[in-house]
Structure 1
């Protein structure tokens, strides 16, 4: 019987069909995690498709020029990638179809790997294009689509795109084990804000389907609803004459300016509720969320993000690597209820178990 990793079991048991792998920063083991999931899919006869938000699989890190592990695809794997990357593929491939989506490296094409080997992958960067690519990969037979994330961009983790998220963290973040775990906990606090109840979600739903910003009073009456850019919404919200504001819904990104406007309104209207699409729309700090809650405010999402697991990389190319056993023990204590794994160590244990 083929052995399953804890991460693979969580993805399978939760029925996830689209999983985003997101690194806390570069060199936290995202590509290693990606290859682990590809290997598990192959071992369990699961047809898999892969694409990237940005670029991955290149020989060297484009920021630090550090050697990187390649993306390892199996024979039959479906890949959505830019045309130019296929010139450097170390496998034979067959084009299945085009997408009509352009990128700096050419049209995003869907191909099938005819051999096992290394590929560089560069996919669509815009959310609506990602939806199209995922749908096409599934139409071509992928039972699981894996999205490879890019530095500093988390919109691919949105539940509108992915069923689940694997967060890769590690020593490359900097500091000691406790520092890394705190930074990881802070990221999770942003991604995993509570989901709005059904009644509130129904009330604010139109803002998210149409776009823009909406405001309601405590009786549930809509005081304001316009398709305005959230980047320009701070002044509009602060100028509202309403004496009773209970809820605000924002369909787009919440940056520093808009967040400051919301906290100002919370001081004027205690118990204010802010609803965002999901945690990937928040460009604020975990401390902001904590202070907002302490002041009586509620921060909710229209759709919650499911964390499929947290993977650890105890090695840092910049120095300051951790003891692997100490790191994983501390991380499991810090994140109870989550699948926390060092996939390299787990694969080694499975190999030793298969070869006593």
Structure 2
């Protein structure tokens, strides 16, 4: 399905793109790349075929972006959709709904609520504050008959995508007004998302360990003596993989296989990842989500507009996935 360029890509209905996935995270490469608009687009069309639940980590759906102070699209739910928010934001909604669940734990904006919309309206999603808690809420949503869950993510919370089956990535003019730079940054993340999967299931605690789980260091930031690693064929990293650490390994001709939890823990430019692998090292992840769609937003927060057709053309020459502007979707997709 993903082996053709988007310019010649057979337009597959959205229902088929997401048919086998239960949880779908929508994440933005930067703020204002059209993530919320993409979220609403998927919400609108997938609800025709599935019972949907919507949630997030933290707060999403505010009227105004709290960084750029620009107008944001509202998250719109329709009759029958289950949504997750917290008490403070539940009270502010403007439509009828039925409360199905209230958590024992609280966030800074109150307890987490699962409710079912009884009519159309806009909502601020305010979900659990940790990945584990979000996983628990997702399980509860499924007990209420939800067939697919949309997770509203963000760059600072991009790790929400690591508990999902599928990922949708939004990119665009908010990243840069230079199309080549947008392509470069998008491909950098695309490369990390597609790093190979480690063949075993492991639960790595915080720190750096040998394959037999002997602690080497508390983090990659405080490893000065590489002799502890020199003879190791495999290193397990239960935290961030930093560029400084990777460059130190390259400079010392040390190339063990590095196992990282997921792509969101990799703070390294893909240039150095490729260099490390070219020299014989391997970088594997314990969780690899399925990136199945890329959306582009040609509008920047300050009012400039880029050529979305050119951006899609350049991205699709490198990324073998559907790439589209949700404002210009042709009928075959839906």
Q: TM-score, normalized by length of structure 1?
A: 0.83
Cα distance in 2 between the residues matched to 1:243 and 1:329: 44
Q: 2:151 aligns with which of 144, 147, 153?
A: 147
Cα distance in 1 between the residues matched to 2:250 and 2:102: 46
Cα distance in 2 between the residues matched to 1:51 and 1:57: 11
Corresponding position of 1:26: 31
Deviation at 1:244, TM superposition (A): 2.4
Deviation at 1:213, TM superposition (A): 3.2
Corresponding position of 1:74: 78
Q: 2:323 aligns with which of 336, 340, 348?
A: 340
Cα distance in 2 between the residues matched to 1:49 and 1:227: 42
Deviation at 1:256, TM superposition (A): 4.4
State yes or no: 1:172 paired with 2:174. Answer: yes
Deviation at 1:157, TM superposition (A): 1.3
- 8 A contact 2:68–2:301 mirrored in 1: no
Corresponding position of 1:297: 281
| Unmatched 5+ stretches in structure 1 | 217-221
Within 5 A, what are the aligned runs for 1:147-226?
147-158=151-162, 161-196=163-198, 198=199, 201=200, 205-206=201-202, 208=203, 212-216=207-211, 222=212, 225-226=214-215
Cα distance in 1 between the residues matched to 2:88 and 2:204: 36
- Pair 261,126 (structure 1): closer, same or farther in 2 beyond 3 Å: farther
Corresponding position of 2:46: 41
Deviation at 1:209, TM superposition (A): 5.3
- 8 A contact 2:33–2:174 mirrored in 1: yes
Corresponding position of 2:107: 103
- Pair 71,153 (structure 1): closer, same or farther in 2 beyond 3 Å: same
| Unmatched 5+ stretches in structure 2 | 1-10
- 8 A contact 1:57–1:70 mirrored in 2: yes
* DSSP-derived class of the 1:60 partner: coil
**What per-residue deviation string (whole Å, max 9, x for no partner) do you get for residues 77-121 of structure 1?**
111111111122121121101122321111111111111111111
Q: TM-score, normalized by length of structure 2?
A: 0.88
Q: 1:52 aligns with which of 44, 49, 56?
A: 56
Q: How many residues align?
A: 324
- Pair 234,63 (structure 1): closer, same or farther in 2 beyond 3 Å: same
- 8 A contact 1:53–1:148 mirrored in 2: yes
Greater share of helix:
1
- 8 A contact 2:209–2:217 mirrored in 1: no
Cα distance in 2 between the residues matched to 1:105 and 1:274: 39
Deviation at 1:6, TM superposition (A): 4.1
Cα distance in 1 between the residues matched to 2:277 and 2:204: 27
Cα distance in 2 between the residues matched to 1:316 and 1:42: 29
Cα distance in 2 between the residues matched to 1:150 and 1:305: 16
Within 5 A, what are the aligned runs for 1:275-290?
275-290=259-274
Cα distance in 1 between the residues matched to 2:230 and 2:328: 58
The worse-fitting range, judged by mean Cα deviation, of 15-24 and 87-96 is 87-96
Deviation at 1:343, TM superposition (A): 1.4
State yes or no: 1:132 paired with 2:136. Answer: yes
Relative CO higher for 1 or 2, CA cutoff 8 Å, sep ≥ 6? 2
Corresponding position of 1:244: 231
Cα distance in 1 between the residues matched to 2:113 and 2:311: 40
**What per-residue deviation string (whole Å, max 9, x for no partner) do you get for residues 178-200 of structure 1?**
2211110011112221123x3xx
Cα distance in 1 between the residues matched to 2:45 and 2:88: 28
The worse-fitting range, judged by mean Cα deviation, of 285-294 and 251-260 is 251-260
**What per-residue deviation string (whole Å, max 9, x for no partner) do you get for residues 54-97 of structure 1?**
21111111111111110010111111111111122121121101
Say what the alpha-carbon RMSD is for the aligned residues.
Answer: 2.5
- Pair 291,227 (structure 1): closer, same or farther in 2 beyond 3 Å: closer
Cα distance in 2 between the residues matched to 1:272 and 1:209: 17
The worse-fitting range, judged by mean Cα deviation, of 252-261 and 107-116 is 252-261
* DSSP-derived class of the 1:248 partner: strand
Cα distance in 2 between the residues matched to 1:250 and 1:6: 39
- Pair 187,19 (structure 1): closer, same or farther in 2 beyond 3 Å: same
